[in-house]
Every structure is written in C-alpha cells, then in structure tokens.
Amino acid sequence: MNRLAPQLVFVTLLSVAGCKQTEPNYCEDVPVTHNCMDKIDADTSCSSNAQCSGATPVCDVGGAKACVQCTTTDATACSGATPVCGTNNTCERCTMHAQCSSNVCLPDGSCSDGVNVAYVTANGSGSTCTKAMPCGTLAAAINTNKPLVKIANGLVKDSATTSIDGKAVTILADSGAKLDRDGDGPILEVRSANGDVKIYDLEITGASGVSGADGILVTPNGGAPKLALTRVKITSNQGSGIACNGGALTVSQSTVSSNQGGGISISGTGTMFDVTNNFIVYNGTANGVNATQLGGIAATSNTSGAKLQWNTIAFNQSDGAIYRGGVSCTGAMVSAAGNLIYRNSEADGLGGLKTDANTQRNATGCQFGNSLALATDAANLGLKSPATQPFDFHLTATSPSSVVDAGGSCIGIDFDAQARPIGSACDLGADEFKP
C-alpha cells in the first residue's frame, strides 16, 4: 500500500493537469496553465457584420456582440413571411401595421409592398389613394380596383352608401379607424357575384334613417357575394348591425352592439354563415315607436355546414312578435353549440320587459347542443362589467362551472385569439377564461 501511494498521487496530478488541455490543438497558442476562456470569448464575439455570415449575418454590436439573424437597426435579412426582427434577434411575422414600411401588415404576417394598396385617411384629398396622397373616402379607394385598402386611424365618412359590387378586396384598418356616412341608409353594401370582401379591425358605426339604416348589407343581386369580418366592431347603427340576405357571411372575434334595429339577421335559401367567437350585446328595442322584430340574432337559413357557435349573446331586446330577444335560429342543419345566451328580453305587452327562458332562444330548430340559455341576472355569471359602461363580457375567476370548463368541442381560438380550451374543458361564449 505504501509503495503504491506515490503512483496514485502522480496519476491524480496528471489528471488535474490534463483538464487544462483536452486535445493537442485546443488553445494551442495559450499556455497550458490557462483555462482558455478569454480565447473562447474572442472567437465567438464580433465587432462588425464583416465577421458574421450565413444564417446569422448581423453583428449585435449594441447588445451581446454576437452574430445574430437581425437586430432592431438591421433587419435586412428579414423578408417574406418573416419581415420583422423580434426581441430575440430572429425574424418573425409582423403583428402591427407600423412594423411595415408600407404601413400594411397583411393577415398572414407578411408586409405588403404598398403597390397594390389604396390608402384612406380622414383628411385625405388625393385621387390616386397612394400612401403619399391618400383618398378621403372608402368609395374612392374601392374605385381604384386595388385588392387592398388601408384605412388610417380616425373617422372616415362617405357621402353615401359605399357599394362593393362584384369585387374582391381586403380592407385593413388601424386601431381607432371608423367608417360612417353622411345622410340616411346603410354604410356599406356588398353585392353581386364575385363579390368577396374581407374586413379587419374596422369600426362601422352611425348609420341613420327611418328604415334600411343597417351598418352592413349583403345583397345577392343574382349572385353569392362573400363577406368576412374579423375583429370588427358594428355598433350604434339605427338599423341592424348586419343584414345578410344571401351569399356567405363569416363573423369572428367581433362585437355587434347597441344597434337600435337589432344585431344580425341572416336569411335566404342556401345562405352560408359562420358566426363564431363574438359578443352580440345590447341590440334591438322592445317597446315604443322604435320597437324592433330583431333582437340579438335571427338566422333563418337552413344550410348544411352553417355555424352559430361560441358567441356571448346578452342584453338584447325584441318586440317578441316574430323573433326572440336573444337568438332565433331555425335551421335543423345549423350547428349552434357553445353559445352563452342570457338576460335577453322582449316586450311584455304592458310597456315593460319580460325576461324568461322563452325570450332567450327558440325552443326548436338549430342544433343548440350545450349552449346555455339563462334569464337570470348577469351578475350570477361573474362577468367583468356586463351592466356598467364600458361593457366587458369576459369571464372571470368567479364565473360558475356551468360556463367555465363546461365541455363540448371547441378546437381553435376565442375572441382574444387565445387557444381553446385553456382549462380542462371548453368555456361557453366568446371568451375562454385565462387565469
């Protein structure tokens, strides 16, 4: 044992010394007594783009001094589907118009080059609708026949109903952009064959007139026009919010509220519709000279594949003569699951309101599935602010199990683009509660 001890010490010392140099060429220009960390840092850092290449062509001089894909001051490597440099120095999709030099972030996350965009501002006076010389009305932008229209923040007023007749166009809007019109009648009409209109983030408000003062009107005119609304607000119109008499209507992540003539009406043989993840609230009038037949929504088209799902439909009114205060959905082939329908009312015949189970929705017709219809006060549902302005119909931690984790199939997103389900099961209505 004593004779082996010196050999063990010697081996141990060699092992410790060997940790300083793992291979012959490792840190060959650094003495073996150093750990080489200074050398490693020097090899991986940079001071200019000339030292970077390939997938990481930019030197983050003001940050980590490392080669990266992009920086906030140098995003030349970012283009196509990922035109923006993110906080982690990698190219990403755009999420805001201001991130694009054209001021147009497309729905797929790419930036438009601006060539095919007609620009509209509240004070625009141009006739070509370019970014430098924007037009002042939506009608002028539509007349350019460009496939994209961008409406800036502010109130844009057309002189009459803007008719999009047989054209395909995508309308994008800055936050705070509003569309109205002077005089009486609908603000926007989509009509005729080949009409294919998509609208994002716009508020359509203020239509006036004794009749026909709808926010948006969809008219077949012998064809099947298409209208798709995403994150749109249809509010405070004297007529209904949306009147679709044929074609195809898609409404998602949108708010239809405070329209005197009712929320949404869908009619016509073969009309296809998908109304999902929306707040449809405070529409219609039960009593008086302005009493309306339409309450929250009336969908009378019986089209296979049509959907009225995962909406919050509340505090709407009708006169009760034809349509329910909340929902009238009559097509047996229509899926109407996942809706939260409550506190809708109808005229009681004595100048007041009745709020019971019959005023919430029709008893038969569409496939309502697990939709919940309640006449009880909204406070029982634990919503953020259902009865006090500014209204907010999102769920909270106090919302009951009859609404939160209620079940059903809800693959996709909610009103806020949050994945469904978040909890153990699907929540009813437009909002998926996120703790």
DSSP for 264-318, please give it. EEE-STT-EEEEES-EEES----SSTT--S--SEEE----TT-EEES-EEES-EE
Position 165 in a domain: no
Decide if 104 contacts 148 (C-beta within 8 A).
yes
pLDDT value at position 35? 47
Is residue 366, in this structure, part of any structural domain at all?
yes
Q: Is 144 helix (H, G, I), strand (E, B) or coil?
A: coil
d(CA 159, CA 205): 14
Looking at the DSSP bridge assignments, the partners of residue 203 are 178, 233
pLDDT confidence band for 378 (50 / 70 / 90): low
The residue among 58, 92, 126 that closes a domain is 92
Residue 113 lies in a domain: no
What average pLDDT does the chain have? 90
Q: Is residue 406 a contact partner of residue 371, using CB atoms and an 8 Å limit?
A: no
* Average pLDDT of span 416-430: 96
Give the pTM.
0.88
In a domain, 391, yes or no: yes
The reply to whether 238 falls in a domain is no
The reply to whether 78 falls in a domain is: yes
With cut-offs at 50, 70 and 90, classify the pLDDT of residue 25. very low
In a domain, residue 23? The reply is no
Task: Decide if 334 is inside a domain.
Answer: yes
Place of tokens 């990266």: 68
In angstroms, the CA 164 to CA 199 distance is 12
Task: Compute φ and ψ for 115, nearest 5 degrees.
Answer: -65, -40
Q: What is the pLDDT of residues 54-81, one digit of tens each?
A: 999 999 998 999 999 999 899 999 999 9
Q: What is the pLDDT of residues 107-166, one digit of tens each?
A: 999 999 999 999 999 999 999 999 999 999 999 999 999 999 999 999 999 999 999 999
The total domain count for the chain is: 2
75 lies in which domain range?
42-92
Q: What is the pLDDT of residue 43?
A: 52
Distance (Å, rounded) from C-alpha 23 to C-alpha 5? 28
Condensed to tens digits (0 to 9), the pLDDT of residues 44-56 reads 799 999 999 999 9
Residue 394: closest CA among 435, 366, 353, 335:
435
Confidence of residue 42 (pLDDT cuts 50, 70, 90): very low
Residue where one domain finishes, among candidates 92, 117, 152: 92
DSSP assignment of 368-384 equals -TT-EEE-S-GGGGT-S
> For the segment 256-301, what is each residue's pLDDT rounded down to a tens digit?
999 999 999 999 999 999 999 999 999 999 999 999 999 999 999 9
| Least confidently predicted of 13-22, 150-159, 177-186, 342-351 | 13-22
Above 90 in pLDDT, residue 26? no
The percentage of residues in the chain with a pLDDT greater than 90, rounded to a whole number, is 83
Tell me: pLDDT of 24 over 80. Answer: no
Domain endpoint, select from 24, 58, 92: 92
